[in-house]
Amino acid sequence: MNLFGMMETSGGAMSAERMRAEVVAANMANAETTRTASGGPYHRQMVVFAANPGDPNFLESMQTASPDGATTALRNLQARALPGGATMAPGVQVAAVVEDPAPPLKRYDPGHPDAGPDGYVSYPDINPLTEMVDLMGATRAYGLNGSAVQAEKSMITSALKIVTA
C-alpha cells in the first residue's frame, strides 16, 4: 500500500465519472440521429461500473488500533509499499459501455428521408430528462471526488509540516 491510496481511489472514480459524462453527452448529441453507419437509429449508450478490489490488505492497514494510532497506521502503510511495485487501492472502474436494449421510438413522418414504407421513422429512445439527471449525478460525483483529493493533499501537506518542524 502506498500513502496516496485515497488519491488513486478518487482518481479512478473521477475517470469513471468523466466517461459517464462523455457517454451522456454523446447520447444527448445523438437524440435525433435516425441513421448511423450500421444503418439504423442511434442506440443509447450506458456505462457499467465495476468494483476494483485493489490490494486486499489496504483496509487492514488503515484499521490498525494502537495508542499512537496515526503513527502506527503510517508505519504500516510504509511497510506495505514495495519498491517499484506499489499496490492499488480499492475503487471503481469502467467495466464496459453497452447499448440500451430498448427498441427505437416510431414517429409518423412520411416526408423524412429515413421513413419506412409505412411512413414511420425510427428514433433513438433517449429521454433528455433521464440523461440530464445522469449527467448531474456524474458531475456531482466527479466534484466530490475532486474535493476528496484536495482534502488528502491538505492532510499530507500538514503531516509533512509536522514531521519537518
pTM, full prediction? 0.74
Specify the pLDDT at position 58.
52
Nearest to 144 by CA among 16, 1, 4: 16
Question: From first to last of its 165 residues, what are the pLDDT tens digits of the chain?
Answer: 466 778 888 999 999 999 999 999 999 999 999 999 988 999 999 999 998 776 555 555 545 444 444 444 444 444 444 445 545 567 888 999 999 999 999 999 999 999 999 999 999 999 999 999 999 999 999 999 999 999 999 988 898 888 776
**Domain spans of the chain?**
5-164
Q: How much helix, strand and coil, in percent to the nearest 5, is found in the chain?
A: 50, 15, 35
Closest C-alpha to 42, from 146, 152, 131, 140? 131
pLDDT in tens, 43-55: 999 999 998 776 5
Residue 115 in 3-state DSSP?
Answer: coil
Give me 65's grid cell: 488500533
Fill in the amino acid letter for 25. Answer: A
User: Nearest 5°: phi and psi at 115?
Assistant: -70, 140
